[in-house]
Structure 1
Amino acid sequence: MSLLATIKNISEFVGQEVRLGVWLHIKRSSGKIHFLQLRDGTGFIQGVVVKSEVSEETWNASKSLTQESSLYVTGIVRKDERSKIGYELNVTGIEIIQIAQEYPITKKEHGTDFLMDHRHLWIRSPRQRAILAIRGEIIRAIQEYLNQNGFTLVDPPILTPTSAEGTTNLFHTKYFEEDAYLSQSGQLYMEAAALALGRVYSFGPTFRAEKSKTRRHLIEFWMIEPEMAFVEHEENLQIQEEFVSHIVRSVLKNCKRELETLGRDVSKLEKVVAPFPRITYDNAIEFLQQEGFDIKWGEDFGAPHETALAEKFDKPVFITHFPTELKAFYMKPDPNRPEVVLAADLIAPEGYGEIIGGSQRIDDPELLEQRFKDHNLSMEAYKWYLDLRKYGSVPHSGFGLGLERTVAWICGIEHVRETIPFPRLLNRLYP
């Protein structure tokens, strides 16, 4: 009886007959030989069907296969140095599950809108599969690092009564008779959880109702938001750089084939090792002005500014000590210079922009109450958040990592729409 295998672990079965559940990706014919590019979700392998070596039934079954037909294939695993994975399958039998209808995505060039309309099929392609496999590895590495370093996963609500950052770019809905919003961040709830559990993180979808069409923005995206009691600004940065270094190392180790499929220059990723360089907002403004940018102290950075700053370094760089007025109400001012906050953005190299935003949080109840007034925030709506500073307040810090931007950077792809299985964009809610 043939062994049930997957393409990912095919190297364990050299010289043996195996059975795979697969789909036909591409078929080529050369006289009395069929070359079947097969996929099973774990990878791709070539199956070779030689007419003189198989039954007439198997040969005819091979002839009838169309792109994306599903089948069970039986064959002998052989080493092949010409293969990208180092192995191929000498097919001995085919059991057809379904002959697929004419497949809409072919080898010809397709426009982005067409591919996005067929996203449910496009993700089967080698490139898209590689991106999603790397995304999965990044998620695994994220959870591995946090679990190994004393963090507890806590799930914040997705429906919230207020904004986490005091902005108006929220999706509004009705919660029975009350107004509610789709969450733009779980951070405030993570602060409450950190004061119960010490070190916590959330991992889930967030929503921003920004009418943005840039290659860095999605309407729905996934955030990883760690929050840590008794952790101040400097330690917060050290944890972030160790965290990102761990993620990159894990992808380099476990996704070599996928990175090769994408043509990623891994030498750039190999440089991503903690510690990371740091530059203050003051120095960043001075550098940008010297480079000819029309930007003044107190103004926020856009994509061109972040790219120019990142080009100075070959690994992620922290920009620290932003003006207090630029950042969210909960960020703690520097005690030695209250006009700036103990915060940092982590900018990825190669023009991928901010992947992490983090800060030490305000722990003084009087200062936080003043911030509510400065930002015209409802004292009633944020009363529970102020309570965290009244009953056992401690220094605490946290950060948020945007999953899709991180995937785009590590994969070396241009647009975040390819980094999530089914992207939600300004003009796209289908499929």
Structure 2
Amino acid sequence: MKTTIRTIGNHVGEEVTLGAWLSNKRSSGKIAFLQLRDGSGFIQGVVVKAEAGEEAFQKIKELTQESALYVTGTVQKDDRAPSGYELAVSSVDVIHEAVDYPITPKEHGTEFLMDHRHLWLRSRRQHAIMTIRNEIIRATYEFFNKEGFVKVDPPILTGSSAEGTTNLFHTKYFDEDAYLSQSGQLYMEAAAMALGRVFSFGPTFRAEKSKTRRHLIEFWMIEPEMAFVDHEESLEIQENYVSFVVQSVIDNCRLELDALERDITALEKIKAPFARISYDDAIAFLQKEGYEIEWGEDFGAPHETAIAESFDKPVFILNYPKDIKAFYMKPHPERDDVVLCADLIAPEGYGEIIGGSQRIDDEALLAERFKEHNLSEDAYQWYLDLRKYGSVPHSGFGLGLERTVAWITGTEHVRETIPFPRLLNRLYP
């Protein structure tokens, strides 16, 4: 019977066949231990010389790392094994013998591993991170589908910037200028006016020459937009969403969290509601702690980390100065110097994972913002139309997938949280 490692627990006491790769092995004179992986998980195969025979045992001892195999054996329960099972191997058929696999069990430098990213993905640690990434995506779809959101796909090629910045990748669109999307938000606002509550999930691009552990050139965003939803309701949706995703990972990825040696007790605390502090209070806190920062300045990684250390759950920082936020954010009803927005800061030094706001719904005010930010009304006329024809209060946010994966998995650098990272100095492989 052919099966997979992930479902092998359904076949205790039965003989099964796995298609697998040999990730590692060790042997004595009488027993060989094969570390097998098939993409769905890892398991140990045990070969006993007295049962396999001299010739077969010798061939198994000579198997090379990452050779592709068909392995047949009996499934046995083993509480010492991470998966709870092992395979008593009766036969091994070689599909393909790998020669001189470059990533050996010894230590390798980061650049070497990044040059061999196409192979590094096979390691137990990278497998665990990618599996948890997939669970976060799966849980995202489940959450928003249950909450009545419609999935909408905004364009990747755009004629203008979502946030009025110059950090865009330029290309030619026949005889016009075009840019790789830095956010699908503006298009999602249009979709929300048609479908009520929508979300997108797709790649975004920022031509920022940043080398920090939190930044990628190409990354993936989850961007919901909601008609008839004010800022307060949006915050509640955000904290419920993050709580749901974290709980789904705990429930469905325990083996992977264990492989990463992640402190699950820290994740178990992630339940709504989350703490909220104002930008004003955050500045006062940082100044009291000795940071040289003035009101009106944006927060850097050290500032966000210092604030997060006061909490064991994510924390919202509310109402930033309008001069350091995007043109589309709605002013605070009681102050003209701040806007109705929030950044959600993850615990343990992982920084901002969500940015969100209530959007301007007044046509005249938005037109005024266009002028203040030197934005072309021609390029943004369609966006202004959303306020001209049936405008309503609406809010939205964007969650950066890779930063969220880094936080939940406890991974230090975001380059390990995406299959093939695009960094300032890396476009290969």
Scaled by the length of structure 2, the TM-score of the pair is 0.99
**2: CA distance, partners of 1:81 / 1:226:** 43
Name stretches of at least 5 consecutive residues in structure 1 with no aligned partner.
Answer: none
Return the offset for 1:317. Answer: 0.2
SS of aligned partner of 1:210: coil
Question: Which residue of 128, 131, 145 maps to 1:130?
Answer: 128
Give the aligned partner of residue 210 of structure 2.
Answer: 212
Return the offset for 1:339. Answer: 1.1
Question: Which residue of 396, 408, 415 maps to 1:410?
Answer: 408
Return the offset for 1:56. Answer: 5.0
Q: Deviations over 1:140-197 (max 9, x none)?
A: 0111101110111100000000000000000000001000000000000000000000
Question: Which residue of 220, 233, 236 maps to 1:235?
Answer: 233
Matched positions, count: 429
**2: CA distance, partners of 1:188 / 1:315:** 30
**2: CA distance, partners of 1:300 / 1:28:** 54
The answer to whether the 8 Å contact 1:61/1:96 transfers is no
* Same amino acid, percent of matched pairs: 74
The answer to whether the 8 Å contact 1:7/1:44 transfers is yes
Return the offset for 1:88. Answer: 0.8
Question: Which residue of 301, 304, 310 maps to 1:303?
Answer: 301
Q: Deviations over 1:301-334 (max 9, x none)?
A: 0000000000000000000011111100000001
**1: CA distance, partners of 2:419 / 2:187:** 27
Return the offset for 1:382. Answer: 0.4
The answer to whether the 8 Å contact 1:307/1:353 transfers is yes
Question: Which residue of 259, 263, 266 maps to 2:264?
Answer: 266
**2: CA distance, partners of 1:100 / 1:246:** 42
Matches within 5 A, 1:12-411: 12-55=10-53, 58-411=56-409
Return the offset for 1:61. Answer: 3.5
Letter in 2 for 1:314: D
Letter in 2 for 1:242: N
Letter in 2 for 1:148: K
Farther off after superposition, 58-67 or 278-287: 58-67
**1: CA distance, partners of 2:76 / 2:400:** 42
Letter in 2 for 1:67: Q
Letter in 2 for 1:274: A
**1: CA distance, partners of 2:196 / 2:304:** 33
Return the offset for 1:38. Answer: 0.4
Return the offset for 1:83. Answer: 1.3
SS of aligned partner of 1:196: helix
Letter in 2 for 1:257: L
The answer to whether the 8 Å contact 1:76/1:89 transfers is yes
Letter in 2 for 1:367: L
**1: CA distance, partners of 2:383 / 2:60:** 65
Letter in 1 for 2:342: A
Return the offset for 1:57. Answer: 5.4
**1: CA distance, partners of 2:388 / 2:397:** 23
SS of aligned partner of 1:337: coil
SS of aligned partner of 1:380: helix
The answer to whether the 8 Å contact 1:404/1:416 transfers is yes
Letter in 1 for 2:243: S
RMSD: 0.8
SS of aligned partner of 1:191: helix
SS of aligned partner of 1:318: strand
Scaled by the length of structure 1, the TM-score of the pair is 0.99
Return the offset for 1:27. Answer: 1.0
Report runs of 4+ in structure 1 exceeding 3 Å deviation: 55-58
